Amino acid sequence: MHRRTLTSLALALGLLPALGFAQAGYPSKPVKFIVPYAAGGLPDTVARVVAQRLTERLGQGVVVDNKPGGNGVVAFQALQQSTPSDGHAFIVSDGSMLSITPQINKAASYAVGKDILPVSLIARSPLFIVAHPKTGVNTFQEFVTLVKGKPGEFTYGSSGIGSSHHLTMEALKAALGLDLRHVPFRGSGQSTPALVGGQVEFSVAALPSMAGFVKSGQVRLLASNAPARSSQAPDVPAVAETVPGFDFSVVIGVMAAAGTPQAAIDRIAKEIAEVVKHPEVVKTFQTAVIDPVGAGPADYARVIAGENERMAKAGKVADLKAE
């Protein structure tokens, strides 16, 4: 078919932008990973590990751009301003941007499938329910028995109202009929010392922030909030072993703005699926108690839908209010 005829046909069918994208070669310039948190957190760590390997595979730089603020709203605004049609900007975030932020921030009016498109589920990371030794609790079942026997007498710390830590415990309280008082802190940098110092009896935390204290006997791991035991703590049960279907583990994924070419989404998803198999990436993730996944758009969409449903129920239990 003559080139002019092909172009006319593509224009008539509304396919010219896609043809142009495919013919140009992708990526044609550096790719940006927008992270809705400050440097050093879990999503930022995952983004940087993956970006380094993607740079090697794509032949273009993959840069991480931290845009904290509004629990993800600022990052979404930056994504919208990035010219989605050229497919060179994405968000790398945990699921709370989609499942929790809309419950507490009225400005979070974006919706999955309409404004944000799933690209790749990079990894999962569990949080752990942790006890101070003064409680005398050594196992998850002992924790349940103790709290049920003394309703309202114990406290738990979290990294803040509406955090995954907070909603993990509120969902657990609802599932098992527990009465624990919530003490919110401003991040794990405050909640961890509060538990170690005995200001609260229990807490929910990531293992890397607690590992040293666990080793020294200053705190005790009771259970994880993931659907299965962590390979880094195989002796610690998952709550799901007691409460079927319980899953509040942190999921880290890549998302694109509406209007991003499907070819770009497919390429990034395909490359990430390979990156997370790399031995050095696996080793780095495991050291940080991160489980690599590398699932594509369809699987990631199902994970998002499930998390949104669970977090919405937990948010109601916690009486979260959008402000």
**Residue 24 pLDDT:** 59
Which residue type is seen at 44? D
Q: What is the pLDDT of residues 147-159, one digit of tens each?
A: 999 999 999 999 8
Give the domain CATH number at 214: 3.40.190.10
**Residue 15 pLDDT:** 46
**Residue 17 pLDDT:** 46
Q: What is the pLDDT of residues 208-247, one digit of tens each?
A: 989 999 999 999 999 999 999 998 899 999 999 999 999 9
Those residues whose C-beta lies under 8 Å from the C-beta of residue 177, and which sit 6 or more positions away, are 148
Phi and psi based region of residue 162 (left: phi greater than 0; alpha: psi -120 to 50; beta: remaining) = left
As a whole number, the mean pLDDT across the chain is 91
**Residue 244 pLDDT:** 96
Sheet of 250-257: strand order equals: 62-66, 31-35, 89-94, 250-257, 116-125, 291-295
Residue 246 within any structural domain of the chain: no
Q: pTM for the whole thing?
A: 0.86
Residues 236, 264, single domain; the answer is no
Helix (H) or strand (E) holding 291: strand 291-295
pLDDT of 18 higher than 70: no
* Nearest residue to 132 via CA among 192, 73, 90, 183: 192
Mean pLDDT of 46-55: 97
pLDDT of 250 higher than 90: yes
Residues 166, 224, single domain; the answer is yes
**Residue 217 pLDDT:** 96
pLDDT of 22 higher than 70: no
Radius of gyration (C-alpha) of the chain in whole angstroms: 22
Residue 82 within any structural domain of the chain: yes
Q: Which domain holds residue 60?
A: 3-123+251-317
Residue 323 within any structural domain of the chain: no
Mean pLDDT of 107-125: 95
Residues 84, 163, single domain; the answer is no
Q: How far apart are CA 147 and CA 62, in angstroms?
A: 48
Residue 217 within any structural domain of the chain: yes
pLDDT of 138 higher than 90: yes
Domain-terminating residue out of 241, 265, 300: 241
**Residue 10 pLDDT:** 43
Residues 137, 210, single domain; the answer is yes
